[in-house]
Chains A and B, each alone.
Chain A
């Protein structure tokens, strides 16, 4: 009996991730991506699900996969930087798609990009690369202002849709 790999007894930590967006369609440089990547403090790796169909045959039943795999939306939470660079970055991306003024819609290929969620081990070595193919923002959450909130910081969030996920191990 050969031993191919020692059993990993370490536990994953939820803070081991980096979300990286490429140059967005409305951008001419990556200048403002830093603020978004730095302040994105929460991401939910979306759930995926399959539908099934129940087949009966001679008194027995079996579940078989039906239709397509379903990917949930990508949800992100981020702290808004003091110059609102990351919030306006996503705002401009969304209004690049449609602004209800002079742009009523664009071709999918013009506004969808591929983004990557890098998952690291406990020593920040990248172990998984999750590619979101054809991603674009579906929702940008509200930003709350208040004179009566002295301690909290401005936060926002965004939801993204995409075509599919690709997960690659990084060795």
Chain B
């Protein structure tokens, strides 16, 4: 947990969630019912208290209608948990060969959001709701891309409820403000730090039927990559694994099914 990293998973979840409600417009009409103009509903990411400040302390501005979004909770989503021990890999880019990124399965979290709609007129709220609710049946998906690890995922946004919070009593100086509260839950993922790792580009396997053959290969400076079929009778199989890296060829040999006559295991490495 000491390694610093910041993939902005939470921040991107918030901004993508806000983007769902960005640009909602309502129509204003003349008294005779003819269309007057379209008004874009401003969207704020702020708690209720701040909206309250805007509504009550800055009365000189025409603020309403306004929407505010606040994050109300984060919970671990056990039902979406995958194998958290599994390390999977992504390529930083398709063109970049020889380097991949490896990271553990991301942690699933449900983030609760509250969308508050404040308006002077009920028709404003109706128009806003009608531009939001039909899209949720009861969920939509947003796509969140994490550039640092070249991956993206679909986060499900679930509509929970919409409820009015209209006050019935007002003070002498107060004015009527209609309010609707919409609750949403976003199923997002939060990633652990990734680590870069190399790609195994080549695997060389050598087979030897005798320990002497293996020893001679071990001591030789040549890179032998021949295959000899097992001799009849008691046989030994020796396998070697290797990879290329900057013109170096490294082998690590392991003997298995070793015959009783020789009776010893040989492991070793050599470089050329």
Q: Which A residues fall within an 8 A CB radius of B?
A: 15-19, 34, 37-41, 79, 82, 120, 124, 147, 150-153
Would you call the interface of chain A mostly helix, strand, loop, or mixed? mixed
Give the 4 A-B CB pairs with smallest separation, nearest first: A150-B138, A150-B139, A38-B86, A39-B82
Is B248 close to A, CB under 8 A? no
Question: Whole-angstrom distance between the alpha carbons of A16 and B84 in the complex?
Answer: 8
Contact between A17 and B83, CB atoms less than 8 A apart: yes
Contacts A150-B138, A150-B158: A15 and B85 contacting too (C-beta < 8 A)?
Answer: yes
Contact between B154 and A82, CB atoms less than 8 A apart: yes
Contact between B88 and A38, CB atoms less than 8 A apart: yes
Is B105 close to A, CB under 8 A? yes
Chain B residue at smallest Cβ distance from A17: B85
Q: Which B residues fall within an 8 A CB radius of A?
A: 79-86, 88-89, 105, 137-139, 154, 156, 158
A-B CB contact pairs (8 Å), 5 listed: A15-B81, A38-B86, A39-B83, A79-B82, A152-B79
Chain B residue at smallest Cβ distance from A42: B83
Chain B residue at smallest Cβ distance from A120: B85
User: In whole Å, how far is A107's beta carbon from the nearest beta carbon of chain B?
Assistant: 23
Contacts A38-B105, A150-B137: A124 and B88 contacting too (C-beta < 8 A)?
Answer: no
Residues of B within 8 A of A79 (CB): 80, 82
Contact between B83 and A37, CB atoms less than 8 A apart: yes
Contact between B83 and A40, CB atoms less than 8 A apart: yes
Contact between A153 and B85, CB atoms less than 8 A apart: no
Residues of B within 8 A of A152 (CB): 79
Residues of A within 8 A of B79 (CB): 152-153
Residues of A within 8 A of B82 (CB): 38-41, 79
Chain B residue at smallest Cβ distance from A39: B82
Chain B residue at smallest Cβ distance from A34: B88
Contact between A38 and B83, CB atoms less than 8 A apart: yes
Contact between B83 and A41, CB atoms less than 8 A apart: yes
Contact between A153 and B80, CB atoms less than 8 A apart: yes
Chain A residue at smallest Cβ distance from B137: A150
Contact between A18 and B154, CB atoms less than 8 A apart: no
Chain A residue at smallest Cβ distance from B105: A38
Contact between A18 and B83, CB atoms less than 8 A apart: yes
Contact between B86 and A37, CB atoms less than 8 A apart: yes
Contact between B85 and A124, CB atoms less than 8 A apart: yes
User: In whole Å, how far is B130's beta carbon from the nearest beta carbon of chain A?
Assistant: 20
Question: Whole-angstrom distance between the alpha carbons of A124 and B87 in the complex?
Answer: 11
User: In whole Å, how far is A155's beta carbon from the nearest beta carbon of chain B?
Assistant: 9
Contact between A18 and B158, CB atoms less than 8 A apart: no
Chain A residue at smallest Cβ distance from B87: A18
